[in-house]
Amino acid sequence: MASAPLNRAVTGRSPEEEEALFGDYPKVCYRRNPLEFVVSEVRFPAILRIGTEPPAAFQTEIGKDFPLFSEVSQLAFAPPEIVKFLNAANVAPSGKVYEFSSADETWKLSLSRESMALSCHNYTKWNEFRARFERPLEALAKIYSPPFFVRVGLRYRDVISRKGLGMAEIPWSELLTPDIAGEFHTRPSELIVAAWRQTVFKLQREDSQILLQHGLNQVHPKAEICYVFDADFSTLSRTEPSHAFDVLRFFNKYAWSIFRSCITDRLHNAMDPQPY
C-alpha cells in the first residue's frame, strides 16, 4: 500500500498546492505529436517462476493484444558500460526477459522476474495506453500474485524538432519558457551548442518523485540538434497492485502540466493542438 503523504509541515504545501505550481492547462492532442515514446513500469519482489518456466499461461491471457513473442537476455536492457564490463570479465548475464509485441510492433510488453513494462512509440491518448496495460496487469496479478509493487513508474520522452515543425530559423527563446530554459533568454544564447539539465522534484501525493531531464540533444547520428524533454515519474514506497492505475493516472496528469508549462504558446500552436 502506498504510504501516507508527508505531513504538510515538512514541505509547507499541500499536494493540491504542489500540483498548482505546474499550472492547469486544458488537455489537448497534438496533430504534430512530439512524443518519441511512453513507458510504464511496475517492479516487484523477485518471482522465481518467471525466470525458470516459460510464461505460457501469461501469454494466453495477453496474446490477443501482443501476439508476437521473443526471449532476450537482461543484458540487452543494460547500459553499454555494464555490457562492456561483463563481456570483458567473461561474466554470463543472469535472468531472462520475455518480450511480447503487437502485430505492428508499435506496442512492446516486457516481463522479467522483477518487473513488467509497457512501451509505445505511437502514443496518442492516455485512455488507449491504459487499456493496453490493463490486461497484462490483470494477468500478472492472476498468475504470479506479486504481493506489492516496489516501484510504479511512468516516463514520457518528447523531442522538439524545429526543422520538422518548419521553424528551423526560430530561436529556442521563442519556443521554450524562461523558467525551464533560461539560458536561451540571455544575450549570448546564439552561441549555445550544448545544454542539459537534470532536476528531481519530490511530491507529497503518492509519495513520489519526478526526474526531469531536458536539453539539446542530437537524437540520431548526423541529425539536427533537437530539444528533448524526458520526464520519469516514480513512486518511492510500496504500492498495492490494485492501486497502480490510480498512481499512473496521477502521473499522467502531471506529465501534461509539466510539458505545457515548459513551452511557449508559439510552440504549442505550431504542433497543431486538437481537442482531447
Burial class (CB in 10 A: 0-12, 13-18, 19+), 143: middle
Q: Among residues 112, 145, 178, which one ends one of the domains?
A: 145
Same-domain pairing of 158 and 26: yes
The three three-digit cell numbers of residue 109, written as one number: 510488453
Q: Among residues 110, 145, 180, which one ends one of the domains?
A: 145
Same-domain pairing of 178 and 273: yes
Same-domain pairing of 182 and 234: yes
| Containing structural domain, residue 247 | 1-44+148-276
Same-domain pairing of 73 and 134: yes
Q: Among residues 88, 111, 145, which one ends one of the domains?
A: 145
Same-domain pairing of 166 and 243: yes
Rounded CA gap, 204 and 219, in Å?
A: 33
Rounded CA gap, 20 and 203, in Å?
A: 12
Same-domain pairing of 137 and 152: no
Rounded CA gap, 50 and 114, in Å?
A: 9
Q: What is the pTM of this model?
A: 0.85
Burial class (CB in 10 A: 0-12, 13-18, 19+), 258: buried
Burial class (CB in 10 A: 0-12, 13-18, 19+), 64: exposed
Same-domain pairing of 275 and 167: yes
Same-domain pairing of 86 and 22: no
Q: What does the pLDDT read at residue 259?
A: 95
Same-domain pairing of 169 and 219: yes
Partnered with residue 200 across adjacent β-strands are 211
Judge contact between 179 and 171, C-beta under 8 A. Answer: no
Same-domain pairing of 28 and 96: no
Q: What does the pLDDT read at residue 13?
A: 67
Same-domain pairing of 39 and 50: no
Kindly give, in sequence order, each residue whose CB lies less than 8 Å from that of residue 195, ignoring residues fewer than 6 positions away. Answer: 181, 183, 184, 215, 216
Number of domains forming the structure of the chain: 2
Same-domain pairing of 27 and 156: yes
Q: Grid cell 504534430 — which residue?
A: 32
How does pLDDT run along the chain (276 residues), one tens digit per residue? 333 333 343 455 676 676 666 778 889 999 999 999 999 999 999 999 998 899 999 999 999 999 999 998 654 544 454 445 445 544 444 578 999 999 999 999 999 999 999 999 999 899 999 999 999 999 999 999 999 999 999 999 999 999 999 999 999 999 999 989 999 999 888 889 899 999 999 988 889 999 999 999 987 766 789 999 999 999 999 999 999 999 999 999 889 999 999 999 999 999 999 998
